[in-house]
Structure 1
Amino acid sequence: MKGMAKIPTARLSRLLTGWSSEGAAPLPRRLADALRELAERADVAPGSTLPSQRELAGVLGVSRSTVTAAYSLLEAEGWLESRRGSGSRLRGSGALEQSADEERHGGEGRLASFDARTSGADLSSGALDGLGAVADTVGALTGAELAPLLRADGYLTHGLPELREGIAAYYRGAGLPTEPEQILVTAGSQQAVWLVAQALVDPGDTVVVENPTYRGALEALRSRGARLVPIGGDGPGAGGAGSDAGALRRLGAKVRPRLVYLQPSVHNPTGRSLDGAALREWASALGERELFTVEDTACAELGLAHDGAPVPLSARLPVTSTITVGTLSKLFWGGLRVGWVRSSPHIVARLAKIKTSVDLSCSVVDQLVASRLLAGLPRARTARRAVLREQLAGAEKLLRSRAPHWEWDRPAGGPALWVRVPGTDTEALAQLARRRGVAVVPGSAFSAVDGFRDRLRLPYAHGVDLLERALPTLLDCAERSRVPTGS
């Protein structure tokens, strides 16, 4: 069996969603089946060393005997190989073949929460419900508008020209000169980030990311075998993740990144936005070292304060070494899978070639709807901001009353709070809570180094009623997941 690295306990925990609450079999049998399924689907590469029984029991919130029994079942059935001094290695079925790079750097199922949605209180996603403008726009489409498009084959590799011009105009309105040739329409911002990773990152390349950062980007970069170097840190009163551009300078000559991935406006998961001084400092640090920059602005339109289009960091950087990622899915509706990349025409053409090999073209009808919605973006921004402000106020009032020892900074935008739960292992908390019908994502899911084990991303934009229903369970599970003093 080929030797593999040990899968981090926190990462394995995030892959094991729903196992403890599904089925009537004894708990060890359910855990063994869940681990076997990870091997069958190749979510865990064949030959990976599993965590020790004690480590996995701690993070799953079960007894060590449960894990011991599950490992024994897997070993008896040929799925696990235990060797003294080298741990327990998970066998693969061979049914799903992976490339060598995929085996070494497989994703951790960032969107596993969408595959295992709970029927209870689901706080695993910050995705917002749709605005009424989407239904109105779809209902207003006419056959006359579609007729010219139907006379062609519908394969628009770079995107609907009308939409590309609309996105370019959006950036021009924000003070960033842009032509349609600099825009590639994608199936949401997640595909845009994935395309960037595919095009620009080779196995072993160093990529600088904020700590914490968007977990979908971490998965896309890991899938390419990137060496992730996290900078920054976060905590209540600390100014927000990655706000210190000096951390990039301090890397010095020791690290020459292939690219730097940043979220300057409405950061996911912290909700912070960098002010003008911090943006200038970042632009200076990036420019000094001539570093290629990927700016993800997916949540930028969910700011609570700004009235106009947020000015991107890329306005201060050369277009030849910058990619800006955007989307309409966060503001309008997650079901509207329309995002984009803005960069130089050369880079756009390179990304379009990769995209064509995956899906040929985004839905033309969706793009037509998006182009109409784009014209009404200022109204949508105002409406969404008003609702988010109200929801945030309600959530903060609830938490101050029921969980006064929890800590957070008021976000500049976005749908969630980045909450510190002092003295608690939130990986274990999340496992215990899911068993009781409450789904929540621990802070380590947003860290390249599995940090922030005392943090939760806690969406408030689903309404205070949902949060109020989930909070007693979260508080009880937090108490049960307390980290022993001195550990």
Structure 2
Amino acid sequence: MARLVDVSPEARPYYRALADGVRTAVMDGQIPVRVRMPAERHLAEALQVSRNTVTAAYDLLRERGFLESRQGSGSYTALPDPAVSSDSPWLAAYDDGLIQLHAAAPAAPRAMREAMLEAVDDVPRYGMGNGYHPLGLPLLRERIAAYYTARGVATRPEQILVTTGSQSAINIVLGTLVGVGDAVVVESPTYPHAIDAARLRGAKLASVGVSAEGWRLDLVSGAMRQSSARLAYLMPDFQNPTGALMDDPARAAVTEAAKATGTLLLVDEAWAELELEEVPGTTPMAAFGHDGQVITIGSASKLWWGGLRIGWVRATAALARRMALHRASKDIASPVLEQLVVARLFDRLEETRAERRRNLRASRDALVAALREHLPEWEFAVPRGGGTLWIRLDTGSAVTLAEAAACHGVRLAPGPWFGLEGTLEGYLRLPYTQPPQVLREAVARIAEARHRGRVGSVPLPDTLSPTV
């Protein structure tokens, strides 16, 4: 163990460096999972440090979920449960004073205030009822159905279920359609909450790689076939985090492959409206399959504002009613006022598209320029839409870098958040949803953290923050 972790005697604080060394060795497969660790006293002797130092390192590993102790039988290496470990990215608050680059969420657009004032004026019309609309307000469902129809997919309001955000939509769809032991295909990297939702259902996860260049269609179809997948969760529109855009021939091919394997497609379009440059026109994936095969998720969070917490599902009318019954045990219905705000924002769709394109493009270009100036060794493709860069580091661990960056005032989203256990250690997601000046400052701090390598020099918060 002392040889495997290879901690420099000058590392400070030593216990944290020792814990990081053990964690890295476990994640890299050098130390297998469920292997008994040396007794604290014996490892302290081998490393020529105090037993208290090793005890502190073991305690930190337990907090992070990489060590389990059993009374009378010692401590064993483990992989953390993403839902409960202290390394979990969704347990801490946002008020730690750091530049928040772990979350890809833009601020509200200018149209928000006017839409809210109009929505408040609309509320009295709904106040005579009890306020519960399990399928969503008819007004908003009509707006969403018209939105899909205008994009080339004829849709009736009865096919729409309004949810409390896209994460709620994912949970409702999986909770309705996926059972324990069912296989679910996810992209790698992918949206972390989709992985969590599938695990919550007891699903078996199979991953298929995606890069900024796109999807390997043979691998997508092979994953669905070999896993006998019940459902595949895909983001064909400016995929989070790679920014890849799937063209129409690929959409048709994936849909046909899913039909052949009996796989349902859950298509997340949260980023679909954030085109920053002219790109070849694409058709919603629902146009390539029947409504019972392709289920679509949308969200107000990226185009408008995450604080609204409004999303939706497009499916068959029968499935929409079935999902409404399933969600009744969770949150019954989404808030009326926020639904009215989103309905008003649909009337300002073109205005918001133009504002988002202008602002996000400026922020993307500033982030790209700052990275090329301060960190030219990092590799990434510049996406034509969406809100994130997916970066391949030249050396080292993204998790270690995130800890160092936190010491310099920046919270990052390391690659392992976006994949299954033990993968994507050499990648980092950087969003460009903040103003250019904030991104330039953040990159300068990240570069300083990387070059100084000050991991552990300042105590870190016990938890990491949620990602979107």
User: TM-score interval w.r.t. the shorter chain?
Assistant: 0.7 to 0.9
Q: Does the 8 Å CA contact 2:402/2:412 hold for their aligned counterparts?
A: yes
Helix, strand or coil at the partner of 2:329 = helix
> Taking every aligned residue pair, what percent have the same amino acid on both sides?
34
Identify which range, 346-355 or 259-268, moves more after superposition. Answer: 346-355
Q: What residue is the counterpart of 2:459 in the other structure? A: none
Q: Equivalences for 1:33-112 in 2 at 5 Å?
A: 68-70=54-56, 80-81=69-70, 87=76, 106=83, 112=90
Structure 1's 310 and 168: CA in aligned 2 closer, same or farther, altered over 3 A?
farther
Q: Equivalences for 1:43-442 in 2 at 5 Å?
A: 68-70=54-56, 80-81=69-70, 87=76, 106=83, 112=90, 115-141=93-119, 143=121, 145-234=122-211, 239-240=213-214, 243-251=215-223, 254-305=226-277, 311-442=283-414
Shift of residue 280, structure 1, vs aligned partner: 2.3
Q: What residue is the counterpart of 1:9 in the other structure? A: none
C-alpha distance after superposition, 1:363-384 (max 9, x if no partner): 1111111111112112111111
C-alpha distance after superposition, 1:245-300 (max 9, x if no partner): 21133347532001011000011111111122222222222222231110001111
Shift of residue 84, structure 1, vs aligned partner: 5.6
Q: What residue is the counterpart of 1:58 in the other structure? A: none
Shift of residue 404, structure 1, vs aligned partner: 1.1
Helix, strand or coil at the partner of 1:302 = coil
Structure 1's 117 and 200: CA in aligned 2 closer, same or farther, altered over 3 A?
farther
Shift of residue 232, structure 1, vs aligned partner: 1.9
Structure 1's 316 and 358: CA in aligned 2 closer, same or farther, altered over 3 A?
same
Shift of residue 331, structure 1, vs aligned partner: 0.8
Q: Does the 8 Å CA contact 1:271/1:413 hold for their aligned counterparts?
A: yes
Q: Which runs of 5+ in 2 are unaligned?
A: 1-12, 20-32, 40-48, 63-67, 455-468
Q: Does the 8 Å CA contact 2:131/2:336 hold for their aligned counterparts?
A: yes
Shift of residue 435, structure 1, vs aligned partner: 3.0
C-alpha distance after superposition, 1:53-95 (max 9, x if no partner): 99xxxxxxxx99887222666999xx943666861689xxxxx
TM-score computed with the length of structure 2 as normaliser: 0.79
Shift of residue 464, structure 1, vs aligned partner: 2.6
State the one-letter code of the partner of 2:364.
L
Distance of 1:378 and 1:309 partners within structure 2: 17
C-alpha distance after superposition, 1:197-246 (max 9, x if no partner): 21122222110111111111111111112111001243xxx613xx1121
State the one-letter code of the partner of 1:156.
H
**How many residues end up aligned between the 2 structures?**
413
Shift of residue 114, structure 1, vs aligned partner: 5.4
What RMSD over aligned residues (CA atoms) do the two structures have, in Å?
Answer: 3.4
Helix, strand or coil at the partner of 2:420 = coil
Helix, strand or coil at the partner of 2:339 = helix
Q: Does the 8 Å CA contact 1:391/1:461 hold for their aligned counterparts?
A: yes
Helix, strand or coil at the partner of 1:295 = strand
Q: Which runs of 5+ in 1 are unaligned?
A: 1-25, 33-47, 55-62, 91-102, 483-487
Distance of 2:392 and 2:227 partners within structure 1: 31
Distance of 1:425 and 1:66 partners within structure 2: 27
Helix, strand or coil at the partner of 1:466 = helix
Distance of 1:74 and 1:379 partners within structure 2: 50
Shift of residue 447, structure 1, vs aligned partner: 0.7
TM-score computed with the length of structure 1 as normaliser: 0.77
C-alpha distance after superposition, 1:411-464 (max 9, x if no partner): 121222111111221011112222332110101110124321111111122123
Q: Does the 8 Å CA contact 2:366/2:440 hold for their aligned counterparts?
A: no
Q: What residue is the counterpart of 2:30 in the other structure? A: none
Q: What residue is the counterpart of 2:463 in the other structure? A: none
C-alpha distance after superposition, 1:327-355 (max 9, x if no partner): 11211111111110000112111211121
Structure 1's 52 and 394: CA in aligned 2 closer, same or farther, altered over 3 A?
farther
Distance of 1:220 and 1:438 partners within structure 2: 28
Q: Does the 8 Å CA contact 1:74/1:80 hold for their aligned counterparts?
A: no
Structure 1's 127 and 75: CA in aligned 2 closer, same or farther, altered over 3 A?
closer
Helix, strand or coil at the partner of 2:301 = coil
Q: Does the 8 Å CA contact 1:126/1:461 hold for their aligned counterparts?
A: yes
State the one-letter code of the partner of 1:336.
L
Shift of residue 471, structure 1, vs aligned partner: 2.3
Distance of 1:229 and 1:107 partners within structure 2: 22
Q: Does the 8 Å CA contact 1:258/1:292 hold for their aligned counterparts?
A: yes
